[in-house]
Amino acid sequence: MALTDDGAASVAAPLANAGPAVEARGLRMRYGDDDVLKGVDLTAAPGEVIVLLGPNGAGKTTTIEILEGFRMRSAGEVAVLGTDPAVGGEAWRARLGIVLQSWRDHGNWRVREMLAHFAAHYTPYATAERPRPRDVDALLEAVGLADRARAKVSSLSGGQRRRLDVAVGIVGRPELLFLDEPTAGFDPLARRDFHDLVHRLADEEGTTVLLTTHDLDEAEKLADRILILADGRIVAEGSADELARRVGTGSEVRWTRDGQRFVHAAPDGTAFVRELLEQHGDAVTGLEVRRASLEDAYMEMVARHESGRTAEAAAALEGIGR
């Protein structure tokens, strides 16, 4: 997905003195007696890609919808592009891009006419640094829908529809882009293209991206920083590497000796392997060392949380990413 339409390359990086793109302090959300968010703190620097991970019902979508100005929070301080989303006006909204979880709207319109119509909403909000909207045909090309331009929206496959939603989300050249499970239904190629697109948005246009996903591999590829949300709280925060190093069991070592398969969990895999080879030498075959992955870290975090040791887990993770 190339974004080589006019103006894209000349888009200036965000000003060095600009404040954070998103800043939330003590965000709370309560429906009746049910606390969905119990004090979420979240900061995103301009141009940063942040991935929100967490089990279903953890509050990811609620968090995003509060930041988008679609929901009123119960308590807490929020500034999105310097404005409280509860009172953000149309000019503020023009600086955001939003891709929601499921959209089935405008099914009987054609792909290009829909994108072009939405694009025109942004015309009055163009600035020198951010020409708005993006060129519609170049964008269709970029998301791989150029050959479906005249197709009815309802005739698109699930993955194509999702790519159209992403195109609508970025047609206004947003400074901040929200993506709620954007790659659901993508085939592997479309997924890789999408990851490429997100990197370009962040690198070339300084777009801040806030994304939720259930795909840990995707989180690892995209995120500058990962936040793990569980039961309305952020229970861990850091890069994929940092999270993996911090949680889990270190490394898992597998080998074969005398026709027998061994598995051993070692806090320091390298030291363990050195010792193993010194002891048994050539007798060891089929050696595998697997460092704890983001998946291990995630599973561990959620498991700890679900067994009621949230506080302990959070304490163990404190300081990560600083």
Partner 1 sequence: MNRTAHLLRQGWASGGLALMASLRSVQEMLGTVAFVAAFCVGLSFMRGRAVEGTSVDAATAALPGVLGLSVVFTGVVATAMVLATEREDGTLLRAKALPDGITVYLIGKIVYAAALVLTTVALLVLPGLFLFDGLAAGLARGWPLLLGVLLLGMVATIPFGAVLGSLFNNPRLVNAVGAVPIFALTGISGIFFPITALPEWLQWIAQAFPVYWVGLGLRSAVLPDSMLSAEIGESWRHLETMGALGAWAVLGLALAPWLLRRTARRVSGANVEEARQKAMQRV
The residues of the shown chain that bind partner 1, judged by CB under 8 A, are 61-62, 65, 68, 70-71, 90-91, 93-94, 96, 98, 100-110, 113-114, 117-118, 120-125, 168, 172, 180
Nearer to partner 1, 114 or 244 (CB): 114
Structure tokens at 96: 């955001």
CA dist., res. 136 & res. 159, Å (int): 19
d(CA 131, CA 77): 31
Alpha-carbon distance of 165 to 186, in angstroms, equals: 12
As measured in angstroms, the least distance from the Cβ of 175 to partner 1 is: 13
Give strand pairing partners of 285. Answer: 256
CB of 89 to partner 1, least distance (A): 9
Coil, strand or helix: which one is 107?
Answer: coil
Instruction: Look at strands 34-44 and 22-31 and give their pairing.
Output: antiparallel
Count CB neighbours of 59 within 10 A.
24
In the complex, the smallest distance separating the C-beta of residue 194 from partner 1, rounded to whole angstroms, is 19
| Comparison of 10 and 154: residue with beta carbon closer to partner 1 | 154
Answer yes or no: are the C-beta atoms of 302 and 230 closer than 8 Å: yes
**In the complex, what is the shortest distance from the CB of residue 181 to partner 1, in angstroms, rounded to a whole number?**
10
Structure tokens at 242: 């940092």
Is 255 in contact with 287 (CB distance < 8 Å)? yes
Name which of 104 and 261 has its Cβ closer to partner 1. 104
Residue 103 vs 272, nearer CB to partner 1:
103
Q: Which is nearer to partner 1, 181 or 252 (CB)?
A: 181
- Best CA proximity match to 171, nearest among 111, 222, 88: 111
Secondary structure of residue 265 in the 3-state scheme: strand
Residue 136 C-beta: closest distance to partner 1, Å? 14
Instruction: Report the nearest approach of partner 1 to the CB of residue 82 (Å).
Output: 17
- Give me the least distance between CB of 262 and partner 1, in Å please: 47
Which CB, 141 or 180, lies closer to partner 1? Answer: 180
Spatial contact of 265 and 250, defined as CB atoms under 8 Å apart: yes
Q: Which is nearer to partner 1, 106 or 199 (CB)?
A: 106
The rounded distance, in Å, linking the Cα atoms of 148 and 140 is: 9
Q: For residue 112, what are its two tokens?
A: 């290009």
Q: Which is nearer to partner 1, 177 or 302 (CB)?
A: 177
* Residues with Cβ within 8 Å of residue 284, at least 6 apart in sequence: 255, 256, 257, 276, 277
Please, what is the minimum distance in Å from the beta carbon of residue 48 to partner 1?
22
